[in-house]
Amino acid sequence: MLLGPGDIFPGAEAMFADLGHFCVESIQIAFTCVVFPCLLLAYMGQASYLMKYPDSASRIFYDSIPESLFWPVFVIATLAAMIASQAMISATFSCVKQAMSLGCFPRLKIVHTSRKLMGQIYIPVINYFLMIMCIVVVSIFRRTTDIANAYGIAEVGVMIVSTTLVTLVMLLIWKTNLFLALCFPLVFGSVELVYLSAVLSKIKEGGWLPLVFATFFLCVMYTWNYGSVLKYQSEVREKISMDFMLELGSTLGTVRVPGIGLLYNELVQGIPSIFGQFLLSLPAIHSTIVFVCIKYVPVPLKRKGFFSVEFVRRTTIYSNVLPDTVTKMSGR
């Protein structure tokens, strides 16, 4: 009996996934004024129909609709399913972007669809991957029951992982009292384990799908993170000093040409060894070389000591905003 209520969890999780793209107030107003009243009326109508026609339990959604309104309601239900799927797509984009920021996922092209909201993004590769996987899953299962079983295991797994992570945040970040921090997983974890025991019986009936996906992406993320760490350690060991670079440039007779050269590297300090190969291969370099290193700092708010770079409209103005001072310089 717990499998049925477990299928409503994806809808609740979808609202939290939308928090990255909409404000809290918009979701609260939409749920209170539109979603909840409509659900309440629909379920009350279906319950009253079942009381009169108990044999229609398997097709209660469509049987309770008047025959004259069947096709309009069918179109509306299809459109609602398409709109609801956008929550999963948007949440997937956000999760992949966060994993890329943590260095745990291969770098993919990210398209920012809004100039004001940073959370509104589009990842083409992930979008096509979801499309192909949806077609494959539907062609393999062909039954909504098996797909619902896969949803149930995936959602309960997300709930358990979320409870574990929130507990760690309470202990390590919020510095919550140990007793209160342990009460949180004790209360919520006990309920989640009950649902987990119910959905585990459906692994053979479609529940294996999220486990396969989780294992695959876990291997991808671990491999990428492990390789990135080895690559960074290799660059740190082989980095060259500024004095060595200047000496090498004067020895080779490198010509400096007007202009600015931007070179991306992973090192916070030092010069990557590949730049030495660059000097050996080319007879000339720009008069100004800027080594660009982009690091994602796990700080939710801007604190003292961090830089904030602003982009201005005029191409001749460069603005570097510090925590307490503003420095501007113009060039031609």
Residue 268 near residue 292, CB atoms below 8 Å: no
d(CA 147, CA 209): 9
What is the C-alpha separation between 27 and 10, in angstroms, rounded?
Answer: 16
What's the pTM value of the predicted model, to 2 decimals?
Answer: 0.70
All structural domains of the chain with their residue ranges: 143-238, 239-298, 299-332
Q: For residues 3 and 197, give the distance between their C-alpha atoms in angstroms, rounded to a whole number.
A: 10
**Comparing C-alpha atoms, which of 31, 38, 26 is closest to residue 12?**
31
Show pLDDT as tens, one digit a residue, over the chain (332 residues): 555 565 555 556 655 555 556 677 877 888 889 888 988 998 898 889 999 888 888 788 888 888 888 899 889 888 888 877 887 788 889 889 988 988 889 999 999 888 877 778 899 999 999 999 989 988 888 887 788 788 888 888 888 988 999 999 999 888 889 998 999 999 999 988 888 888 888 888 888 988 999 999 999 999 999 998 998 888 888 888 777 777 776 777 778 888 888 888 888 777 888 887 877 787 778 888 787 877 776 665 555 555 555 444 433 333 333 343 333 333 33
CB 232 within 8 A of CB 266: yes
Q: Are 285 and 257 in contact (CB under 8 A)?
A: yes
Separation of alpha carbons 99 and 106, rounded Å: 9
CB 248 within 8 A of CB 276: yes
CB 108 within 8 A of CB 125: yes
Strand partners, 290: 262
